């Protein structure tokens, strides 16, 4: 029987564990009366300590990034390139602004609505394989930033899938060259091995 992930799941102190354990969980949205959902196949972790990319983000988006100084379990959504909304979940607590970025899902529910939102004729990797396109498919926008990820608009479910450590591919995160070699080299991008729905390797 599926169970909804509580806020406590995201309020643990180890954001890397949270990012890994989200693999195989199901992400749901209820937007404009339509429910869509997918199985999470790729995440990225961002930590307030030892991660210059997050330090820079907190500095550059000082006002907006207050959305990370909250208890874990709240949506943190912002736009890049004036186009793509990125869906993160604030983790840990208000004094430790960690986050997990949802990078890709395997679409499962509400496919017709997802295709319409993305302007696609049939399911393909481009539907939800990437943080900017999955938000479009699921109807997630910055308007939802600050909402709890326990519903009514966004929530996560555990459907009983056990993901073995051997089935998780850890690699460097995407697009962080600006943060320096140390941050860019951290292996904090996690993917389900063999999934055709993960975003392209870089």
Q: Is the dihedral of CA 138, 3, 10, 105 positive or negative?
A: negative
Residues β-bridged to residue 37? 28, 109
In a domain, 21, yes or no: yes
The pLDDT of residue 202 is 59
Residue range(s) defining the domain that contains residue 120:
3-192
For residue 52, the model assigns a pLDDT of 83
CATH number, position 102: 3.10.300.10
Asked, for residue 92, whether it belongs to a domain, the answer is: yes
- The H or E element spanning position 80 is strand 74-80
Output the pLDDT for position 201.
Answer: 67
Q: Residue 67 corresponds to which tokens in the numbers above? A: 């959305």
DSSP state of 103: E
Task: Specify if 176 maps to a domain.
Answer: yes
Residue 136: name the closest of 100, 176, 173, 105 by CA: 105
CB 92 within 8 A of CB 11: yes
Q: Does residue 197 lie in a domain region?
A: no
The per-residue pLDDT for 200 is 80
Considering the domain boundaries, does residue 77 fall inside one? yes
pLDDT at res. 2: 94
Is the omega angle on the peptide bond into residue 152 within 30 degrees of 0, that is, cis?
yes
Residues lower than pLDDT 50 in the chain: none
Which helix (H) or strand (E) element contains residue 105? strand 96-109
Residue 107: the pLDDT is 97
CA distances from 86 to 45, 101, 130, 161, 193 (A): 13, 7, 9, 25, 23
User: Which pLDDT does position 164 carry in this prediction?
Assistant: 96
Could you give the number of structural domains in the chain?
Answer: 1
Instruction: Find, among 102, 94, 138, 110, the residue nearest to 22 by Cα.
Output: 102
Whether the CB-CB separation of 149 and 155 falls below 8 Å is answered with yes
Supply the pTM of this predicted model.
0.95
pLDDT score, position 127:
97
Query: SS3 for 125?
Result: helix
Q: Is 202 within a domain? A: no
Indicate whether 200 belongs to any domain: no
Note whether 187 and 19 are within 8 A (CB).
Answer: no
């Amino acid at each position: 029987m599926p169970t909804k992930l509580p806020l406590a799941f995201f309020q643990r102190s180890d954001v890397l564990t949270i990012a890994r354990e989200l693999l195989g969980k199901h992400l749901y949205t209820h937007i404009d009366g339509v429910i869509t959902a997918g199985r999470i196949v790729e995440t990225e972790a961002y930590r307030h300590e030892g991660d210059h990319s997050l330090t820079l983000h907190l500095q550059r988006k000082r006002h907006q990034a207050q959305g990370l100084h909250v208890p874990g379990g709240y949506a943190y959504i912002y736009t890049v390139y004036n186009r793509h909304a990125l869906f993160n979940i604030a983790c840990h607590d208000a004094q430790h602004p960690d986050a997990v970025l949802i990078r890709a899902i395997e679409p499962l529910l509400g496919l017709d609505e997802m295709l319409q939102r993305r302007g696609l004729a049939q399911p393909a990797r481009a539907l939800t394989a990437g943080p900017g396109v999955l938000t479009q498919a699921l109807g997630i926008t910055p308007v939802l930033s600050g909402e709890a990820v326990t519903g009514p608009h966004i929530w996560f479910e555990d459907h009983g899938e056990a993901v073995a450590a051997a089935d998780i591919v850890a690699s460097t995160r995407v697009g962080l060259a600006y943060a320096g070699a140390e941050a860019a080299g951290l292996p904090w991008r996690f993917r389900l091995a063999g999934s055709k729905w993960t975003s392209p390797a870089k």
